[in-house]
Amino acid sequence: MSAPRRVVVAGASLAGLRAVEALRRGGFDGRITVLGAEPHLPYDRPPLSKEVLAGKWDPGRAALRAPESYAALAADFRLGTPATGLDLAGRAVLAGAERVPFDALVVATGAAPRRLPGRAPAGVHALRTLEDCLAIRAAFDAGARVAVVGAGFIGGEVAATARARGLEVTLVEALPVPLERQCGAAIGGLLASLHRDFGVDVRLGVGVDGFEGGSRVEALRLADGSRVPADVVVVGVGVAPATGWLEGSGLALEDGVRCDDRCRASAPGVFAAGDVARWWNPRYGEAMRIEHWTHATEQADAAVAALLAGEGPSEPFAPVPYFWSDQHGVKIQLAGRIRPGDAMRVVDGAVADRRFVAVFGREGRLTAALGWSRPRLVMQYRRMLREGASFEEALKGPGSQPGRGEGA
């Protein structure tokens, strides 16, 4: 395959923008076309559940780059123009009636919020886009009673932001504790206590049967028969990869765009990055799809490195998963992966002070590090995870590995 001269990036997302920047940084001087479903230049999504929702930031402050900086990228950003189909044989992305030819394609279309079944009246929102955020913020400005469905990252942050604004908040989670799958039962229980200490009415282990009200929501009806009065409902029950436009194209899809360990999809010259990509992580020996900010930036760089390498060698993408969440003034970070049965030890601070680091291990290896308001130390443990540290070394702390001190 000859070196590409036309690259299409489907998705004006964080991963899409990083792919464009990586292409130029890597010396690509051909044509780059970016197709974006939203009318905005790429913006940061984490502030939508925090600073922008709280009214502390104007929407423009969430922009990832200053508008004038885009000229240096020499890329054709087609905003409000979503990718609607893919013609692999003809090497073109469909954008409505238009065909956008490519030699190489980076799929970075992200994900879309999952919805609760049944009719959703006015006042029921998901939070994914800037418009979603501003609609919810307007309801908060009016002093709404807030119900949040789902105590994951988005739901927990929305609940915390609403409480900080003095609103009455109920947080409903179908699992026994928040973030049980990601952080385990013990940490999930701490997070539930944190919400309750700040005045959130936390309902755990119960699902939602439906909404009450006419044209506008008045209450949530829960599976245990109880009722939660609400003027606004924010549904945060996860997202699904935005691959509908790829169905029938012949590209392999499996909870996202299926990729190998170099972010290469099942067709030559097609790559994926960010929330939409499900790739083989050789560090863990499994396929995974990760929906966090840091991952989107790192995977976009890896996908472009493979794209530019062509048939030549490239490094496998084998990151240590990492996420963070800010709730009620606590920064919660997790590096690595926690599985049921992992040993857990607090190695710094105290749980009671809500300022600590806990490490997790299995079969003698360090598997994860979780911190509450200890960002620097968590990042040091993330480095130890990349270096394959043992659980014993983790208990001794960063710098315990021979030749791997803090400056290593």
CATH of residue 260: 3.50.50.60
Q: What is the mean pLDDT of residues 134-141?
A: 97
Over residues 349-396, the pLDDT tens digits come to 999 999 999 999 999 999 999 999 999 999 999 999 999 999 999 999
Question: Do 106 and 143 belong together in one domain?
Answer: no
Question: Do 41 and 86 belong together in one domain?
Answer: yes
Over residues 38-97, the pLDDT tens digits come to 999 999 999 999 999 999 999 999 999 999 999 999 999 999 999 999 999 999 999 999
Structure tokens at 322: 């990492």
Sheet containing strand 76-79, edge to edge, reads 76-79, 31-36, 6-10, 104-107, 270-272
Question: Do 36 and 25 belong together in one domain?
Answer: yes
Question: Do 185 and 245 belong together in one domain?
Answer: no
Residue 370 C-beta-side C-alpha neighbours within 13 Å? 27
pLDDT surpasses 80 at 403: no
31 in a structural domain: yes
315 in a structural domain: no
Question: Do 125 and 230 belong together in one domain?
Answer: yes
403 in a structural domain: no
Domain span including residue 119: 115-237
16 in a structural domain: yes
**pLDDT of the residue at 313:** 87
**pLDDT of the residue at 2:** 77
Q: Among candidates 205, 200, 204, which has minimal Cα distance to 160?
A: 200
CATH number at residue 355: 3.30.390.30
Question: Do 42 and 103 belong together in one domain?
Answer: yes
Give the pLDDT band (50/70/90) at residue 405.
very low
Q: Which residues pair with 111 in a beta bridge?
A: 241
Question: Do 89 and 194 belong together in one domain?
Answer: no
Q: What is the mean pLDDT of residues 215-234?
A: 97
324 in a structural domain: no
Over residues 238-294, the pLDDT tens digits come to 999 999 999 999 999 999 999 999 999 999 999 999 999 999 999 999 999 999 999
Three-class secondary structure of residue 100 per DSSP: strand
Question: Do 376 and 390 belong together in one domain?
Answer: yes
Question: Do 205 and 244 belong together in one domain?
Answer: no
Over residues 144-153, the pLDDT tens digits come to 899 999 999 9
Over residues 148-175, the pLDDT tens digits come to 999 999 999 999 999 999 999 999 999 9
Question: Do 278 and 197 belong together in one domain?
Answer: no
Question: Do 16 and 105 belong together in one domain?
Answer: yes
Report how many domains make up the chain: 3
Please identify, among 309, 344, 366, the residue that sits at the C-terminal boundary of a domain.
Answer: 309
Residue 230 C-beta-side C-alpha neighbours within 13 Å? 31
Question: Do 77 and 157 belong together in one domain?
Answer: no
221 in a structural domain: yes
Q: What is the mean pLDDT of residues 332-356?
A: 95
